[in-house]
Structure 1
């Protein structure tokens, strides 16, 4: 997934009201950018953080900039926009670049299922069980090279795990795909101290037959591409 317009750099002044961020551009101008991220953004909203914004001239948008990347120590990057993982996963699915799901030729996004939910992707192929795929954005890092999810309590996320379990019970495949939108992580685990209920729901879903997958990303000022699989511990609810 390539950004539509070249990104411009600046320094974060503050992130507030969940979806707004004030940024001082390198030009000295201070602007307000859209922050497409409702999460806690732990470690990614500090004053002075080097950030990269995507400008737009769309008259339908209230803000002329969208916050896309945060520049991290050691030449690493973190993606801020939580909609990006779905876009990069869709590209990978259509290109059959996800080995575990490459057999599926039909990719349908946002299909109704469960109780008033929409699965991110429903995959189908003659002779194969349908595959229900949910995608979660991951960009919390607190310790070593561990990526963690979630960064705040998510009852919606726990519900998705139950709905995927229900699909397995009906004879379908179900996949929870975690996409780590930062380049300084090599492993994945659950943040059970932040949301114990989600960690417990993860273990129940795993026991029920939901397939748990995690992929990293290649991130640059040009765009974001799905990268290699990252390991997930067999049991995560007890990891703190």
Structure 2
């Protein structure tokens, strides 16, 4: 079947991946790796899908997925990314929504080879529109940590993604879910201060005053002589003490 790719046409055959052996199924949070043997399935499915997504040739990707929607559950790269792991790193929220229409909530919880959900990846890039789309489909993504034990909110704070941090803080019930501990709450608070996200840090310590007893944050603030203006606006020194 010929698929337009912007430079003419290329030939691909959509081959059925093997589904005959239940033993090939992966654990529930790990994508299936049936296509990654380097054989015809890899060449006919993984390569063109990856190329279509990374070059924004969504017509070609949609052509394949309309015939094989179950491919959203498969890794298409050696590093374990599914189609949506690749897609969320782009900027097309519309294509992400299309992929999600083929997925269950459980499919969205699949991890890539680095142990990250799609929301963890988006938290790093700071694309709030895509993050909202993912959370609307599956709110549970907010409380799924990466392989290092960091929630998406923590990842966003580490990378200094202000708008993402604001969104995920409100969406995480102000870090009151069952997966949150005093230690990781305190870690996020420190990350916000270190990234100069003083408005969010002030909101956190106002909502969770027990985090105010934090010597690490005071030391961090003492090093930020350039941050006098935001500190005056959000007077963290007044609420953080030894």
Structure with the larger helix share:
2
- Larger relative contact order (Cα-Cα within 8 Å, sequence gap ≥ 6): 1
Of the two, which has the highest radius of gyration?
Answer: 2
TM-score (norm. length: structure 2): 0.28
